[in-house]
């Protein structure tokens, strides 16, 4: 089951955290690591901190932006320590693992931001949900690798429950690449109808992303929706 989990680190500044993340992952059976624009990688420091888990680093994917890293994922969950003004739904860590049961055979990206600033608002916008790990109010900032370790441990614990029941699904959710295509066509339609203007483009576009990310489209539903949207777009362009 762990093969479907893609741990994504965005713009990591210290290579030691990349190595420690690899160690945190492998001890809990997770193998897929993706790095988005790391400041320093490959790195001897990362290798040293991996402590016998260099194979995770050797097979890590390195991308230029987050949208590329999650394009094949049916679900993207961003971990954030700070509160957000966006309407992207939030989950407790327990709620997250209940949700992950629905995606056991589909790629899921678990996204962690930069050590200093976390995930940007644009990066959060690409996620379907936000999860915050509870901490004491006196100091709320978790080390990046520690946050990955907490997720990895909780995930390992949940999938190894002796009384857990695996949910089998006949349908699959769409990838983020397909969802992005749907959003692009929808925005094009709204632009043709003069609903989106230069004045409101930023706010409306953000709301459209949030709305689409809330919907759990299956592949059949997405194909139907795309067909309708494409027909409307073609009609408007005539």
Q: How far is CA 205 from CA 79, 181, 195, 198, 212, in A?
A: 22, 14, 11, 11, 11
CA nearest to 107, candidates 203, 50, 174: 174
Q: What pLDDT, on the 0 to 100 scale, is given for residue 163? A: 47
Spatial separation of the C-alpha atoms in residues 30 and 207, rounded to whole Å: 33
Cα separation of the two ends of the chain: 48
Taking phi over 0 as left and psi of -120 to 50 as alpha, with beta for the rest, 37 belongs to: left
The domain limits of the chain are 2-159, 176-237
52, two tokens: 């016998």
Spatial separation of the C-alpha atoms in residues 27 and 156, rounded to whole Å: 9
pTM assigned to the model: 0.79
Q: What pLDDT, on the 0 to 100 scale, is given for residue 223? A: 85
Question: Which residues of the chain fall below pLDDT 70?
Answer: 1, 82-86, 162-171
Residue whose tokens read 């589909």: 106
Q: What pLDDT, on the 0 to 100 scale, is given for residue 87? A: 73
Q: Which fold has domain 2-159?
A: Alpha/beta knot (3.40.1280)
Residue whose tokens read 């576009």: 205
Residue 114's beta-bridge partner residues? 118
188, two tokens: 């094009």
């Amino acid at each position: 089951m762990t093969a479907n989990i893609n741990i994504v680190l965005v713009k990591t500044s210290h290579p030691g955290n990349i190595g420690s993340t690899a160690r945190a992952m492998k001890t809990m059976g997770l193998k897929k690591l993706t790095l988005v624009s790391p400041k320093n990688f490959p790195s001897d420091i990362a290798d040293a901190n991996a402590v016998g888990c260099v194979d995770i680093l050797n097979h890590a994917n390195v991308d230029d932006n987050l949208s590329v890293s999650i394009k094949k994922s049916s679900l993207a969950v961003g971990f954030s320590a700070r509160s957000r003004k966006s309407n992207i739904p939030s989950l407790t860590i327990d709620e997250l693992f209940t949700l992950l049961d629905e995606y056991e055979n589909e790629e899921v990206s678990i996204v962690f931001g930069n050590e200093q600033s976390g995930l940007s608002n644009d990066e959060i916008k690409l996620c379907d949900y936000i999860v915050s790990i509870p901490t004491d109010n006196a100091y709320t900032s978790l080390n990046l690798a520690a946050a990955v370790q907490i997720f990895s441990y909780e995930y390992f614990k949940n999938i190894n429950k002796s009384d857990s029941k695996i949910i089998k699904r006949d349908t699959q959710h769409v990838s983020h690449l397909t969802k992005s295509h749907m959003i692009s066509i929808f925005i094009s339609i709204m632009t043709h109808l003069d609903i989106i203007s230069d004045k409101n483009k930023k706010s409306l576009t953000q709301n459209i992303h949030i709305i689409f990310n809330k919907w759990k489209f299956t592949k059949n539903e997405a194909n139907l929706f795309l067909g309708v949207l494409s027909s409307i777009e073609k009609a408007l362009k005539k």
